[in-house]
Amino acid sequence: MKKVEAFIRPHLVEDVRAALTDAGVKGLSVLEARGFGHQRGHTEFYRGAEYQVLFVNKVKIEAVVLDDQIDAVVSALLRVARTGKVGDGKIFVSTVDDAIRIRTGESGNAAL
């Protein structure tokens, strides 16, 4: 089992969800994040003072998938989450030892 963690642009979350579903993913989770990287943040004003806000709003997608789904998932992400401008984000893949479905207690691939 592999865990895919992707930081993407917030407004693309629904497209990504649809694409991952098409790629066979049965479940996933989304968390709000702020990211720092090559993409510049923005300037905020507060009573004449200027603040450089370095962080950019991102969304983190977490999905644990079967080993053989990983390529399809990554290419779905590359297709849908890419705008070509700095700040599209990153995908990280790591290994998961086990998964358990709380409702049934099923574990391993069956739990996904």
Ligand X SMILES: Nc1ncnc2c1ncn2[C@@H]1O[C@H](COP(=O)(O)OP(=O)(O)O)[C@@H](O)[C@H]1O
Using rule CB under 8 A, residue 47 touches another protein: yes
Using rule CB under 8 A, residue 42 touches another protein: yes
Judge contact between 29 and 63, C-beta under 8 A. yes
Task: For residues 70 and 34, give the distance between their C-alpha atoms in angstroms, rounded to a whole number.
Answer: 25
Nearest approach in angstroms of CB 27 to its own copies is 3
Phi first, then psi, for residue 69 (nearest 5°) are -90, -10
Complex with another protein: residue 47 or 103, whichever CB lies closer: 47
Complex with another protein: residue 20 or 65, whichever CB lies closer: 20
